[in-house]
Amino acid sequence: MTPELFIQYLFAGITYGIIYAIVAIGFNIIYNTTGIINFAQGEFVMLGGMIAITMHSVMPIPLAIVAAVVITMVVGALIEMVFIRWLESPSVLRMIIITIGISILAREVALHIWGESVRALPYFIGNEVTSVSILGAKISPQVLWVIGVCSLMVAGLSLFFKFTSLGREMRACAANRRAATLCGINTKNMVTLSFVLSAGIGAVAGCVMSPITYSDYSMGPNLAIKGFTVAILGGLGNSVAAVTAGLLLGIIEAFSISVLPLAFQDAIATSILLLILFVRPHGLFGSSEAASLKEF
């Protein structure tokens, strides 16, 4: 393998990896405030991309993306209010099945609105053949957009959770819901907020990745299973580790193409998921003791 090819694969891996990390962080945000794994997480990414593409026919790209993100956030809030908010201490099995149902419903609605065709947003700068040269490898500027936007989002989220009072309230809710309620935090609103937030970051990821990976109604479950793999790999609830784990998975997948047939690429993430669940369910980076103490 030439050094140029190596860098090419590396960037492809990083691009996908950071998107998986965003999906994983979406899982983590909701998991931390509710203890629910939202199986519909991938659908937020799909909705973001598809809505932006539709919006783009009537408005410029930046506006279309903002509109798509806002609409997806509203959808996230609605999902929480309609399906989850009023349930009193539902069992895990029940929540799994409800979120799976939501995911199917979102996908079917998308199928009936947009059809089966594969669409894409145009490239933010230039077109498919524009490239910048990095260490001899040709990289599309869109890849840099994906990496840049997602990194900013991760940084912004960790600042939000550390320094703003709203972020602190959400963390309090995650650490101990009852104690947070006693301190006067409206935990129900925090749960809604966590759905809004994870819908929002999912939609942003869906928009920036759309020119490279394309969007279609059925992309959600695949992203969700990979995002979940990453979330588990990093240790459920740990968003910083999720980024590392996401990059790891993305790079492994990218390089696997040079060894394995493309058709098996998706099976790799799933096999890693099964392996990690069997061997280290608390994640690569988490210790089993720390797993019992939930923190961001």
- What letters, b where the CB count within 10 A reaches 16 and e where it falls short, cover 197-208? bbbbbbbbbbbb
Verify binding: residue 107, another protein, rule CB under 8 A.
yes
Chain position carrying tokens 């999902």: 79
Q: Which is nearer to another protein, 59 or 87 (CB)?
A: 87
Total residues interacting with another protein, rule: CB under 8 A: 39
DSSP category for residue 123:
P
Verify binding: residue 264, another protein, rule CB under 8 A.
yes
Site string for another protein, 72-91 (x = CB under 8 A): -----------x--xx--xx
Give residues 17-46 in contact with another protein (rule: CB under 8 A). Answer: 37, 39
CB of 93 to another protein, least distance (A): 6
Verify binding: residue 65, another protein, rule CB under 8 A.
no
Q: Which two tokens stand for residue 31?
A: 């998991």
Cα angle: 189, vertex 172, 178; to 5 degrees:
75
Q: Which of 266, 287, 288, 295 binds another protein (CB under 8 A)?
A: 266
Stretch that binds another protein, among 139-147, 150-158, 207-215, 272-280 (CB under 8 A): 272-280
Question: Sign of the CA dihedral 14, 17, 22, 28?
Answer: negative
Quick check: 23 and 41 in contact, CB under 8 A? yes
Q: Number of C-alpha atoms within 13 angstroms, CB side, residue 136?
A: 6
Q: Which is nearer to another protein, 60 or 261 (CB)?
A: 261
The DSSP element (H or E) to which 137 belongs, if any, is strand 137-139
Quick check: 37 and 228 in contact, CB under 8 A? yes
Which residues contribute to the site for another protein (CB under 8 A)? 37, 39, 83, 86-87, 90-94, 96-98, 100-105, 107-109, 112, 221, 225, 228, 232, 261, 263-264, 266-267, 270-271, 273-274, 277-278, 281
